[in-house]
A and B are shown apart, each in its own frame.
Chain A
Amino acid sequence: MNSDPEEKRPKESEPEEASPEGSGSGEAPSGGDSGLGSPEWKVSEPGDVRRNEGRSDEPRSNPGSERFESGDEASDGRAKTGGEASSGSDAGSGSPGSESVASASDAGGESESPDSGEAAPDGGVGSGEGRWPEGSDPEGSDVESGMRDAGAEYGAPDAAPGDGSDSDGSSSGREASPRRLHPSSMLFEALKTARSWASAAAIPGIAVLFGSGLSVWVIALVLFGISVLLVVSAVWGFLSWRATSYWVSGGAFHLRSGVLQKNERTIPLDHVQSVDTVQGFVQRIIGSVSRLKVVEVRIETAGGAATETDASLAALTRDDAASLRREVEGARRGTFGVEEEEVGPTVIRKLTTRELLIAGATSGQIGAAAALIGVGSQFFDDFIDSFLSRNFVEGIAASIAPYAFLAVALIVFAVGLFAWFLAIAGTVVAYSGFTISRSADGKYLNIKRGFIRRYEATIPISRIQAVRITEGLLRQPFGLAMLRVESAGYGGGTEDVGVSTTLFPLIPRRQIRSFLEETAPEFAVEPDLTPLPKRAARRYIFRATAPWIIIFTVAGMVFFTSGLSVSVGPLSLGLPGVPLPPTAYFAIPAAVILFLAALYGWAGYRAAGWAMAEDCFVSRSRTLARTTAIAPRKRLQSRNIVRSPFQRRVRLATLRTRVASGSGGATFEVVDMESSSAREIIERLGPRKP
């Protein structure tokens, strides 16, 4: 494999722990150590030799440090993984447990046979462990010591597996070798610290600057402050890097962190919902200017709140991330994109640039963007107030007054256009490069997207509870839709806070079925929707207009009793022709709004429908966008029928189903369906009698 042990070698030496290690090595013949230290190298046979040499050359540096260093090279991680994978063959042990064997042999060299047993499983599992021989020996003589202070404790987890030495091969042994993050995490930590301090200091700092003027002393003070900040952040970054380590052992993921207050978090592997990698802005920049490819890794659990990441590792090389993911996900190989060259995931669909732009143009985020502009214009007002003379502004206002209607129309148009571009830009940022793929074992979906912040998420297919097809107002006419999934106990990460995750942002409606066939076959149905009975239409329209009727009744009473209707004078609208009576001030908006509300109600009625398709309950409704929800019977957590007295009178009912979603649930409902069908369906959706 690509591993170049030699390269690693040079890097390994880290001053700090060298001494303890040295001692350790002293105990064990150095060769033995090395064996432990680098099972993966061992894997590549030639490597062994070198490694030994390397050993001798270098004062037996602590393996821990070396490992991290090695992280720099993208290749090295792979090497190890490859090592494991291939180790069977390479090691020549030939047995399936080959890797373990290999490591075992190392261990043997080491002299502690039981350890070797443990060592074996490590090697098998994860690349990572293999690397850390220390982990393998419980006593951890040299190794642990190598691992700074914490090392001793690490020894413990390893030790446990040690007993399991008998069961080595089978154990799939996740035992541990505490690993540190990639050293570049120092940078991230430092940046984070600097940023938080800087933002805390910024406002008072600026206030002082402007308040006291720029004297030499002030500048000196500021510079001093900045340099102190930088130094402190750097030191903090280093300390926290040193204090952070993670490992997988005893069926759990462990994360130790904290400079002052030590923290150790243990997440049972069973509870791990996903291992996501995120390439943040800084990481991408680093990646683009150097060969260093690091990612942030987030481990989420089923129980965790949707918004919070259960464990986050600031910087790992892609390969370390991949190997960690593999360990956590049960030593599956080439599960996701990270290891494309091994067993690639199948890319199911990619969002083309054209689709991306269409998605932006039809996203319907114009409203949100316009609101944003509205907020922005407040600041603009303040700006005008303070910097432009009132007269000047009023002069302009007066000069355009005759064309007020036109001017307003233009402004509205311009704002709308601007909002539209903002919406497109927002979509591009969020969904650029959207790629969905399926892992080689077909159990997971992997989604990558994002322009500035590269986002990657993994969704276990078996956890998907329901699919939502959303046809926005601007998309439905073109037969386009967006797909989302509700999945249980899976937050999806930072941007998709909560419950549902975008499965694909823009897809032609008629391709949805085949797309689902490939992603989540359970949901690939061709529903034949039953519309609602005609008498439901009246209720839909009534519900939509009722609040407005109340509002306009009250407003009308005020308008006509307060004398306002007289004082406003006739309404001209600025159009040629008859001036309208003052009542028009009230009647026209009321009529328009009531009409729109009725239309909204009618559209809701038209869109609503339900179906049983295969074993799925399909319900469709419309707020603004038309949404079709597909939920398999087996995924329903509960169902209910609600009937108000009015519904009872006309034999209609509202049917609701709930599925698990995130840490709570999501509800799908059909309002005003035929009461008898609702009762029939709620039974059909129940458990099947055996």
Chain B
Amino acid sequence: MKSEPSERLDPKAKTVWRISNVLWAVPLLGAGAFASWFARSVVGAPLLVWVLPILGAAFLAILSIFVVPSLSWRRWRYEIRPDEVDLQRGIFWITRTLVPLARIQHVDTQNGPLQRRFGLSTVVFYTAAGANRIPELSAPIAAEVRDRIAELTRDQDEL
């Protein structure tokens, strides 16, 4: 097995992930603030206790906005080999996935509003045992990857 798949995601992926994580971080911070307020005013917990929720939320928010996207991007790699699709992802748990082209039933590209703003697309390919995705490719590359997979899939019937 090759040490790593060759292709990377579009660098703009980091920005998209950051923005979408900001959207997640807001309610998280809100919840943390509420919990802290609750602990302080209603329960009357000491300082050391009531700061914990808000600090925790802030920590997670910072992590998910400033650290996770770039780590994740650095790990994410893919490669469309002649007979398989090879994916690698994961910050803590590194997952390497191999999907034979002969098993792929169909391929989609999808993009959400945020992705569209940045001209990115996600390639999703389906097997009988579920879907796999290559996120945040620039739209033309995504289309190319999709067509490539579709074409190779046609060629391969058996393993």
Contact = CB atoms under 8 A, between A and B. Distances in A.
B98 A682 contact: yes
Interface stretch (B18-26, B34-42, B99-107): B99-107
A637 B94 contact: no
B95 A665 contact: no
Contacts, number: 75
A659 B84 contact: no
B159 A638 contact: no
A680 B127 CA distance: 23
B129 A638 contact: yes
Interface in A662-686: 664-666, 679-680, 682-683, 686
Contacts of A299: none
Contacts of B132: 638
Nearest to B101: A687
A397 B100 CA distance: 67
8 contacts: A489-B128, A636-B103, A637-B130, A638-B99, A638-B103, A640-B97, A679-B1, A682-B98
A639 B99 CA distance: 7
A661 interface: yes
A-B pairs with the 6 shortest C-beta distances? A665-B129, A660-B128, A637-B129, A640-B97, A637-B127, A658-B129
What band does the interface of chain A fall in when counting residues whose beta carbon is under 8 Å from B?
Answer: 20 to 34
Interface in A618-659: 633-634, 636-645, 648, 658-659
A688 interface: yes
Query: By DSSP majority rule, is chain B's interface helix, strand, loop, or mixed?
Result: mixed
A519 B45 CA distance: 66
Contact of B84 (A488, A642, A686): A686
B132 to A, nearest CB: 7
Contacts of B30: none
Nearest to B156: A687
Residue with the highest number of chain A CB atoms closer than 10 Å, among B1, B99, B128, B156: B128
B15 to A, nearest CB: 27
A640 B100 contact: no
Given A640-B97, A642-B96, 19 more contacts: A488-B128, A489-B128, A637-B99, A637-B103, A637-B128, A637-B130, A639-B98, A642-B95, A658-B127, A660-B128, A664-B129, A665-B127, A665-B130, A680-B1, A682-B98, A686-B100, A687-B100, A687-B102, A687-B159
A665 B93 contact: no
A117 B100 CA distance: 47
Interface string B110-137: 0000000000000000011110100000
Given A679-B1, A686-B83, A687-B83, A642 B93 contact: yes
B130 to A, nearest CB: 5
A687 B104 CA distance: 13
Interface in A474-499: 488-489
A689 interface: yes
Contact of B127 (A634, A642, A644, A660): A660
Contacts of B99: 637-638
Nearest to B96: A641
A660 B92 contact: no
B148 to A, nearest CB: 16
B92 A636 contact: no
Contacts of A641: 95-96
Contacts of B90: 642
Interface string B59-98: 0000000000000000000000001100000101111111
Residue with the highest number of chain B CB atoms closer than 10 Å, among A633, A638, A642, A660: A638
Contacts of B101: 687
A275 to B, nearest CB: 22
Residue with the highest number of chain B CB atoms closer than 10 Å, among A634, A637, A679, A688: A637
